[in-house]
Amino acid sequence: MDIVRKCISCGNIKTRNELIKITKINNSGDIVIEPGSKIFGRSAYLCYNQSCIDNAFKKDKIYKALKTNTNIDKSRLYDLLEQVLKGTTDGQFKS
């Protein structure tokens, strides 16, 4: 059976590879998108679409899901997610 996860924006349940994984690394607090398997932390998932990304930033949903504070650079994180949509980044983000 496929692993399924829930999008924090629309609440739809999808298989893991249909969602963007956003992880806050336990030790450093840095945020990484689509981390490698050796990275552990608290994760949130989003659909690969613009409306779910936009929605995640409304009411700071994404920060609540990651249990992180909002002083992470919002525009940088948003830009990075946009690039992930376009497939032009490996998703590494340092807060």
The stretch near Zn ion (CB under 5 A) out of 8-16, 35-43, 67-75, 80-88 is: 8-16
Site for Zn ion in 20-49 (CB under 5 A): 47
Residue 52 as a binder of Zn ion (CB under 5 A): the answer is: yes
Residue 84 as a binder of Zn ion (CB under 5 A): the answer is: no
* Pick from 52, 61, 58, 60: nearest CA to 81: 52
Residue 9 as a binder of Zn ion (CB under 5 A): the answer is: yes
Judged by the rule CB under 5 A, the positions of this chain that interact with Zn ion are 7, 9-10, 47, 52
